[in-house]
Amino acid sequence: MFWYFQVFVYLFLLGVCGVMVTSKHVIMSLIAIEVMLLSINLIIIFVSLCFDDLFSHLLFVIILTIGAAESSLGLSLMVLFFRLRGSISLNLLSLLKS
Amino acid sequence: MFIVLFILSLILDGIVLVSVRNPIQSILVLIILFLKASIIIIMLKIEFLALLLLLVYLGAVAVLFIFVVMMLNIKILERQEQIFQYIPLTILMAIWIFYLFDILIYLTFDWKRDLFLIEWINLIKNIDSISNLGYFFYSIWHIIVMISGLILFISMLGSIALALQPSQKKKLDLSTQAEIIDYTLRYFRKTFRR
């Protein structure tokens, strides 16, 4: 069982690497964040099975809700930003005049 | 032992998802990853959460991603040259998360005991996961379910308010004489320009 747990930790690390590598492309970063949330959900499910706990299922539902809200808000921000600037790039994301 | 195959293929899917360039292919790999995750959770006999994951992520989030990528006409990701400046930070975070999840939990919890799955639901009572969760969700943890519903409602309102364009038609307000003159002047300018 602990071996399964390690695999999901590696999946989380892949999500972190995806956020780092595709940091110029915001939608790919959002996808990598989704992968991180999925791996956290799987870790929580496995921990709940290991410790015979039902509270983790509630935590699963909360994380699912937060993930859906996060992705919807991020994508709507991206639509707004595309309408404003004409492209999605984190180089253009800073509105400050240096 | 199908579950081992599925779990190992999750890592492969994650590698493909990070390394692919086109965001549409990345989203398709994400859909496969969610399907495999829900299949794994179904194999662990937690059907309700697996169906919830399938419903929320594949039904809402992945379709939303595909919709946004198709709508925004985004180019293929160009590999940037400064990718190497992020590598030390990535390695640092990887070491930290590995320490946090793997070593710390391995040392603190008593993993030596037999951790194979006992079907604890069947030991207590012959009820399935859905009725068990439903009993707890709607009796003891009702306030948290309501809070999560509120979070979804607020996110829906926020995304609508962000993406809403203000209407172009202005309501005519011809109460004073100056506004009437201004309106007629603008009207004539618009007509004579054509």
DSSP B69-86: HHHHTPPPPPPPGGGGGS
Contact assessment for residue A50 and residue A42, using Cβ atoms and an 8 Å cutoff? no
DSSP B26-66: HHHHHHHHHHHHHHHHHHTT-HHHHHHHIIIIIIIIHHHHH
pLDDT of residue A37: 92
Q: Is A59 part of the contact surface with chain B (CB cutoff 8 Å)?
A: no
pLDDT of residue A39: 92
Q: What is the DSSP letter of A93?
A: -
For A86, left (φ over 0), alpha (ψ -120 to 50), or beta?
Answer: left
- In the predicted model, what is the mean pLDDT of residues B151-155? 93
**How many Cα neighbours within 13 Å face the side chain of A94?**
5
Q: Which tops the pLDDT comparison, B82 or B176?
A: B176
Give percent of chain B with pLDDT exceeding 90.
19
- In the predicted model, what is the mean pLDDT of residues A72-87? 83
B86 has pLDDT over 80: no
Q: Is B14 part of the contact surface with chain A (CB cutoff 8 Å)?
A: yes
Which two tokens mark B169?
């038609």
With b for 16 or more beta-carbon neighbours within 10 A and e for fewer, the B65-94 pattern comes to bbebbeebebeebeeeeeeeeeeeebeeeb
pLDDT of residue A80: 84
C-beta atoms of B97 and A12 within 8 A: yes
N-terminal to C-terminal alpha carbon distance within chain A: 52
Name the band, by pLDDT with cuts 50, 70 and 90, for residue B155: very high
Contact assessment for residue B21 and residue B74, using Cβ atoms and an 8 Å cutoff? no
C-beta atoms of A6 and B136 within 8 A: no
Q: Is A9 part of the contact surface with chain B (CB cutoff 8 Å)?
A: yes
Mutation choice for A interface testing from B9, B68, B70 by most A CBs within 10 A: B68
Q: What is the DSSP letter of A92?
A: S
What are the CB-based long-range contacts (under 8 Å, 24+) for A44-51? A45/B41, A45/B44, A45/B46, A45/B49, A46/A1, A46/A4, A46/A5, A46/A8, A47/A5, A49/A1, A49/B44, A49/B117, A50/A1, A50/B115
Distance CA A1, CA A50 (A): 8
Contact assessment for residue B29 and residue B16, using Cβ atoms and an 8 Å cutoff? yes
Query: Based on the number of CB atoms within 10 Å of its own CB, is B45 exposed (0-12), middle (13-18) or buried (19 or more)?
Result: middle
B50 has pLDDT over 60: yes
DSSP B118-185: P-HHHHH-S--HHHHHHHHHTTTSHHHHHHHHHHHHHHHHHHHHHHPPPPSPPPP---SHHHHHHHHH
- What is the value of pTM for the model shown? 0.79
Q: What is the pLDDT of residues B100-143, one digit of tens each?
A: 777 777 677 665 555 555 666 566 666 677 887 888 888 988 89
pLDDT of residue B44: 84
